[in-house]
Structure 1
Amino acid sequence: MSPSLTERSDPELAALALAGQQSAYAELMRRHRDAVFRLARGHAGDATEALDITQETFISAFAALARYDGARPFRLWIARIAINKCHDWARRRAVRRFFAFARPMEEAGAVADSAPSPEEAAHSQAELRRINAAIAGLPGNLKDVLVLRAIEGASQAEAAQILGISEKAVETRLYRARNKLAEQLRDDGPGRV
Structure 2
Amino acid sequence: MIPSDHHLTETDIAGRVLKGEKSLYEIIVRRFNPCLYRVGRSYNYNHEDTRDLMQETFIDAYRSLHQFEGRSDFKTWIIRIMMNNCYRKRVKLSFKYEMAQDINDHAKPMFTASGRDTGQMVQNWELGGIIENALSRIPFDYRIVFSLREINGLNVSETAKLLSISEANVKTRLNRSKAMLRNEIEKTYCPSELFEFNLIHCDAVVDHVLSRIGSNE
Q: Same fold (TM over 0.5)?
A: yes
> Against the structure 1 CA distance between its residues 136 and 57, is the aligned structure 2 distance closer, same or farther, given a 3 Å change threshold?
farther
2:176 corresponds in structure 1 to 176
1:18 corresponds in structure 2 to 18
1:90 corresponds in structure 2 to 90
Report how far residue 88 of structure 1 moved: 2.0
Report how far residue 150 of structure 1 moved: 1.7
Report how far residue 92 of structure 1 moved: 3.0
Q: Which aligned pairs between 1:107-146 and structure 2 lie closer than 5 A?
A: 125=125, 128-146=128-146
1:163 partner letter: L
Higher helix share: 1
Report if the CA contact (8 A) 1:45-1:129 is conserved.
no
Q: CA RMSD in A?
A: 2.6
2:103 corresponds in structure 1 to none
Alpha-carbon distance between aligned partners in 2 of 1:131 and 1:94, rounded to the nearest angstrom? 26
Alpha-carbon distance between aligned partners in 2 of 1:133 and 1:88, rounded to the nearest angstrom? 23
Q: How many residues end up aligned between the 2 structures? A: 154
The one-character-per-residue Cα deviations of 1:108-161 (angstroms, maximum 9, x if unpaired) are xxxxxxxxxxxxxxxx94563354244234433222211111211222233223
Flag the structure with more relative contact order, 1 or 2, with Cα contacts below 8 A and sequence separation at least 6: 2
Residue 7 of structure 1 aligns to a residue in which SS? coil
> Against the structure 1 CA distance between its residues 131 and 90, is the aligned structure 2 distance closer, same or farther, given a 3 Å change threshold?
farther
Report if the CA contact (8 A) 1:45-1:136 is conserved.
no
> Against the structure 1 CA distance between its residues 141 and 152, is the aligned structure 2 distance closer, same or farther, given a 3 Å change threshold?
same
> Against the structure 1 CA distance between its residues 128 and 93, is the aligned structure 2 distance closer, same or farther, given a 3 Å change threshold?
farther
1:68 corresponds in structure 2 to 68
Report how far residue 181 of structure 1 moved: 4.5
Residue 69 of structure 2 aligns to a residue in which SS? coil
Report how far residue 67 of structure 1 moved: 1.6
Identical amino acids, percent of aligned pairs: 30
Alpha-carbon distance between aligned partners in 1 of 2:178 and 2:46, rounded to the nearest angstrom? 20
> Against the structure 1 CA distance between its residues 64 and 136, is the aligned structure 2 distance closer, same or farther, given a 3 Å change threshold?
farther
1:161 corresponds in structure 2 to 161
1:28 corresponds in structure 2 to 28
Alpha-carbon distance between aligned partners in 1 of 2:91 and 2:144, rounded to the nearest angstrom? 15
- TM-score normalised by structure 2 residue count: 0.61
The one-character-per-residue Cα deviations of 1:79-125 (angstroms, maximum 9, x if unpaired) are 11111122223223337xxxxxxxxxxxxxxxxxxxxxxxxxxxx94
Q: Which runs of 5+ in 1 are unaligned?
A: 96-123, 187-193
**Structure ID, larger Rg:** 1
2:53 corresponds in structure 1 to 53
1:9 corresponds in structure 2 to 9
Report how far residue 59 of structure 1 moved: 1.4
Q: Which runs of 5+ in 2 are unaligned?
A: 96-123, 186-217
1:44 corresponds in structure 2 to 44
Alpha-carbon distance between aligned partners in 1 of 2:150 and 2:173, rounded to the nearest angstrom? 12
- TM-score normalised by structure 1 residue count: 0.68
